[in-house]
């Protein structure tokens, strides 16, 4: 995620001053561009979406190479989780006219004669700050909504994935007028300089701690925010499952991108009666996916940085290693790891892991699992594995989470008709599909009255009218 470490005051920091000046120049251009009204039309927005799609198609090779350099992402995995954003563009192109269409709404009889409608309007100039774990897709996906809704946008990719940051900057600069959409790259000074400016909306994807900083900065200008954060997403497993399928789906969802996924299962709560069979099936799935030595697998990613690697390896000693546990600092490799017999007070059960380590907690009664989930902050995702509808409903009714996926992991995020977002500390707001358009739009309420008739009851003098209004209300 974007890191906002402490840095010298901008008045004493030439780099910060340079960043601030450049960013203000970009924002002046973008506000001037927005004021021309160009972004308002359906034809303009459609053309920009098509241009974005073509740019992604034209730069696929470079995008995949950048993702390989930053995270050692396997090509197929990178394509399915990053280039796949083309599907979102296709949907926006297909649905744009209907999304933009004003919606007529009924008016009460006492407003007669009148008509009312709700019209989506662009917000203006928006800021999109992206993370490092899916550094291409999580920049472009919100941008689709910003374009569809008719905004200008400034993008700030994560400096922790520098190769992808550069390809995003290059792609955008070749495709769009910088007065319309632009990218700024850099580290702490750039992030701080961007957040010091006033935007009409800020869209941030990253960690909860940095989300608080973004929200505090936005509050200085009363700027609305969308925060896509994270947390400890639990995976609850009942006895009523198909063990092999459940094992494969959990292993895939946990270890894709080496566990560096905001909605990856963070810990597993498993009924003790099914635990031995499930763990053996998961061990088999790890071997089937990545071979006897995952370090040699072309299908397994790496940890993004030394700092993140060093944080993660501390967790390896907080339980009994059932699968994995090996690591190599030179390659930033941590094997797909399943930890059994993990104490509830261990650090791996307190922090979001964001890496290829899965703690296992067994339960006897589902009430125990629910109580543990409720003792923590509301997660971004919740996974339930069970054939039993009553089991599913009980968990749904007694817990809260940003989203839920039953009998699978991760895949709910790929369904654009489902808004994606968190609740509580896991996020504010949502996007994907029309929800992205809604996030970057203001829905303006408009009432139109006619002159051909005028109801005088509302006018003074009021004597004798109160009883009538009470009957209307009552």
pLDDT in tens, 214-271: 999 999 999 999 999 999 999 999 999 999 999 999 999 999 999 999 999 999 999 9
pLDDT 10s digits, 93-102: 999 999 999 9
Active-site annotation holder among 88, 91, 189, 228: 228
pLDDT for 469? 86
pLDDT recorded at residue 456: 85
User: What are 119-162's pLDDT values in tens digits?
Assistant: 999 999 999 999 999 999 999 999 999 999 999 999 999 999 99
Q: Tell me the percentage of the chain whose pLDDT exceeds 70.
A: 96
Average pLDDT over residues 333-351: 97
Q: Is 280 a catalytic residue?
A: no
In the set 262, 352, 362, 405, the catalytic residue is: 262
Banded model confidence at residue 8, pLDDT cuts 50, 70, 90: very low
pLDDT at residue 85 is higher than 80: yes
Alpha-carbon distance of 81 to 238, in angstroms, equals 29
Specify the range with the lowest mean pLDDT, choosing from 29-33, 114-118, 456-460.
456-460
Delineate the domains of the chain, giving CATH numbers in brackets: 10-229+427-444 (3.40.605.10), 234-421 (3.40.309.10)
Q: Tens digits of per-residue pLDDT, 180-201?
A: 999 999 998 999 999 999 999 9
pLDDT at position 107 is 94
User: Tell me, what's the pLDDT at 7?
Assistant: 37
Contact predicate 119/132, CB 8 Å: no
pTM: 0.94
Active site residue 262: yes
Which tokens belong to 195? Answer: 């957040």
Say what the pLDDT of residue 157 is: 97
pLDDT in tens, 415-456: 999 999 999 999 999 999 999 999 999 999 999 999 988 888
Instruction: Say whether pLDDT at 16 is over 70.
Output: no
Provide the pLDDT for residue 457. 86
pLDDT attached to residue 17: 56
Q: What is the pLDDT of residue 15?
A: 52
């Amino acid at each position: 995620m974007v890191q906002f470490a402490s840095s010298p005051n901008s008045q004493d920091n030439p780099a910060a001053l340079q960043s601030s000046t450049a960013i203000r120049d970009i924002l002046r251009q973008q506000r001037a561009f927005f004021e021309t009204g160009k972004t308002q039309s359906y034809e303009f927005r459609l053309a920009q979406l098509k241009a974005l799609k073509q740019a992604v198609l034209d730069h696929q090779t470079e995008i995949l190479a950048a993702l390989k350099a930053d995270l050692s992402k396997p090509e197929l995995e990178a394509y399915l989780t990053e280039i796949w954003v083309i599907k979102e563009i296709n949907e926006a192109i297909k649905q744009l006219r209907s999304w933009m269409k004003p919606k007529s709404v009924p008016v009460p009889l006492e407003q007669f004669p009148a008509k009312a409608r709700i019209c989506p309007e662009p917000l203006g100039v928006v800021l999109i700050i992206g993370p490092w774990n899916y550094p291409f897709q999580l920049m472009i996906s919100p941008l689709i909504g910003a374009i569809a809704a008719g905004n200008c946008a400034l993008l700030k990719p994560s400096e922790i994935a520098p190769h992808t940051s550069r390809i995003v900057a290059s792609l955008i600069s070749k495709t769009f007028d910088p007065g319309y959409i632009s990218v700024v790259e850099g580290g702490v000074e750039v992030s701080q300089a961007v957040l010091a400016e006033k935007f009409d909306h800020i869209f941030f994807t990253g960690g909860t701690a940095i989300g608080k900083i973004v929200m505090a900065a936005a509050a200085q200008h009363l700027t609305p925010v969308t925060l896509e954060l994270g947390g400890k997403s639990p995976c609850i497993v009942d006895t009523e499952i198909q063990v092999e399928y459940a094992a494969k789906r959990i292993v895939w969802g946990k270890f894709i991108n080496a566990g560096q996924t905001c909605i990856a299962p963070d810990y597993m709560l498993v009924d003790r009666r099914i635990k031995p069979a499930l763990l053996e099936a998961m061990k088999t799935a790890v071997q089937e996916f990545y071979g006897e030595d995952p370090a040699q697998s072309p299908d397994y990613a790496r940890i993004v940085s030394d700092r993140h690697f060093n944080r993660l390896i501390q967790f390896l000693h907080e339980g009994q290693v059932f699968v994995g546990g090996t690591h190599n600092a030179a390659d930033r490799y941590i094997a797909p790891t399943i930890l059994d017999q993990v104490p509830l007070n261990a650090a791996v059960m307190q922090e979001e892991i964001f890496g290829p380590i899965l703690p296992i907690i067994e339960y006897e009664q589902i009430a125990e699992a629910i109580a543990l989930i409720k003792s923590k902050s509301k997660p971004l995702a919740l996974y339930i594995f069970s054939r039993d509808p009553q089991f599913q409903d009980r968990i749904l009714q007694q817990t809260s989470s940003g989203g839920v996926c039953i009998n699978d992991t991760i895949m709910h995020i790929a369904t654009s008709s489902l808004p994606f977002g968190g609740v509580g500390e896991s996020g504010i707001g949502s996007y994907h599909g029309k929800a992205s358009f809604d996030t970057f739009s203001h829905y303006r309420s408009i009432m139109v009255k006619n002159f051909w008739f005028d109801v005088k009851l509302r006018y003074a003098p009021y004597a004798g009218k109160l009883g009538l209004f009470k009957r209307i209300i009552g």
